Amino acid sequence: MDLSSLVASQRQYFQTGSTRPLAFRQEQLHRFKAAIESHEEELFSALHADLHKSPAEAYTSEIGMLLSEITHTVKRLPSWMKSDRRRLPLFAKPGKGWVSPEPRGVVLILAPWNFPVLLLLSPLIGALAAGNCACLKTSEHAPHTSAVLARLVRDTFPPEYVTIVEGGSDVAKTLVCQEFDYIFFTGSATVAKEIMAAAAQRLTPVTLELGGKCPCIVCDDATLEITARRLVWGKFINAGQACVAPDFVLVDKRIGERLMQEMIRCAQKFYGEDPQKSPDYARIIDRRHFDRLIAFLGYGHAIHGGQHDAEQLYIAPTFLTGAPLTSPVMQEEIFGPILPIIEYENLEEALVILQGMPVPLALYLFTNNKKTRARVIDGTRSGSVCVNDTVLQIAAKNLPFGGLGASGFGSYHGKAGFDCFSHNRSVLARPAVFDPAARYPPVTISMKELKRAYRLLVGE
């Protein structure tokens, strides 16, 4: 595939202006939704083949979220596209000022393997809503899903409008060196640095959705049964292979033992005595990630789980205690079904631990005390915060989703996705009348008079 010609054909199509009208954007989003619905069974099968995802998990964590966001976007797109009038200072009158959201142009979207449908197509919703052409790159680590997505896109859109590219890292490296107007990447910080370096050569703006060690603080006033259920659910979705999954738990030592026992009961209830037989429990994506996760088990004591099967890429839901803060399992993003649990003496001790770590994509807090909630939110940094639950913040379409610092930058979902792929273009329009000579050289007033006039005309 000639990637440079592909991008050139999309740029030529974009420059025709065909993607800009509201009716066109809404029509394409309707077609997009219909295509996802018609390929639903194929996507279920592919996600099971790549990650052992059940149809229920595939729908609730990927496909259903896409369908909901498309409906949300189509309904609100007319108001999002409207120009926003702005007040002008006296010097610009008579005149009008407004800000108009303009499409960025031809955009590149690079997706990871862990949620290969959602994380490829969710950014595309914002890109199409904003009036762009798009090139999509699937993950080679989820080959079955990649193949279905390729058919879906090619059956739905002309390649000069939306195209999809399959292949390995060599293809991705070639893509990011093309003349795109915007790059949207979801994945690891290591790859993100390479993408930023390539984008910098062309001054191409980027959004990076990364990850990090998302912490969970459980205070002594938390409602333990609900806390345990929501924590276990959020941690073991997709076998923990989620950028917003709780990565470790900091729990008040007064309730630590009770929380652990309650989480063990929840894990057994969700996945049975032998999770390997559960239809609702996913698998690790490949042997390299499997081996990396197994190595983490050596840095603590598994109070529950720890069983694994290399042939099936299976690792049981595992709770780990005794892991030193300096150990790899507490320094690296786990991205798997292993949950270290650390007890703290008081809340300030927990906050000190978090302040010594890179900024995560999400922070979770379980407490019923508003002052505690305020203290934790004010005393930490993260891309998002979720109180008394896990993961749900990514499904709230009116909440921008994105990282900070090491967890990335830029945001999307709902209107934030439209804004991500739009340029807010400022326009100042004046009539060709009333043109006082005092504006132009030579200056005939004193500096004191000039300053007074400037303050009046420009404002302070």
List CB contacts of 297: < 8 A, sequence separation 6 or more.
306, 318, 320, 338
End-to-end CA distance of the chain, in Å?
A: 56
Q: Which one-letter DSSP state was computed for residue 16? A: T
- Cα(350)–Cα(356) distance, rounded to whole angstroms? 10
The helix (run of H) or strand (run of E) holding residue 74 is helix 64-81
Q: With H, G, I as helix, E, B as strand and everything else as coil, classify residue 344.
A: strand
Closest CA to 27 of 170, 143, 131, 97: 131
Active-site choice (133, 135, 243, 420): 243
The distance of Cα 377 from the centroid of its chain, to the nearest Å, equals 20
Q: How far is Cα 242 from Cα 334, in angstroms, rounded to an integer?
A: 10
- Please, are residues 167 and 94 in contact by the beta-carbon 8 Å criterion? no
Catalytic site includes residue 420: no
Task: Please give the Cα distance from 137 to 154 (Å, whole number).
Answer: 13
Q: Give the strand pairing for 206-209 and 106-110.
A: unpaired
State the burial class of residue 440 (Cβ atoms within 10 Å of its Cβ: 0-12, 13-18, 19+). Answer: exposed
Beta-sheet pairing, 401-402 with 182-186: unpaired
3-state secondary structure of 151: helix
Which residues, 6+ apart, have CB-to-CB distance to 444 below 8 Å? Answer: 438
Q: Are strands 96-103 and 308-309 parallel, antiparallel or unpaired?
A: unpaired
Report the SS3 class of residue 458. helix
The catalytic residue among 57, 209, 262, 333 is 209
- Here the tokens at position 190 are 């290591």
Give, in degrees to the nearest 5, the angle at Cα 43 between 39 and 48. 155
Nearest Cα to 336, choosing from 249, 236, 269, 267? 236
Q: Is 216 a catalytic residue?
A: no
Contacts of 269 (CB under 8 A, 6+ apart): none
170-199 in b/e form (b: 16+ CB < 10 A) is ebbeebbebebbbbbbbbebebbeebeebb
Please list the active-site residues.
209, 243
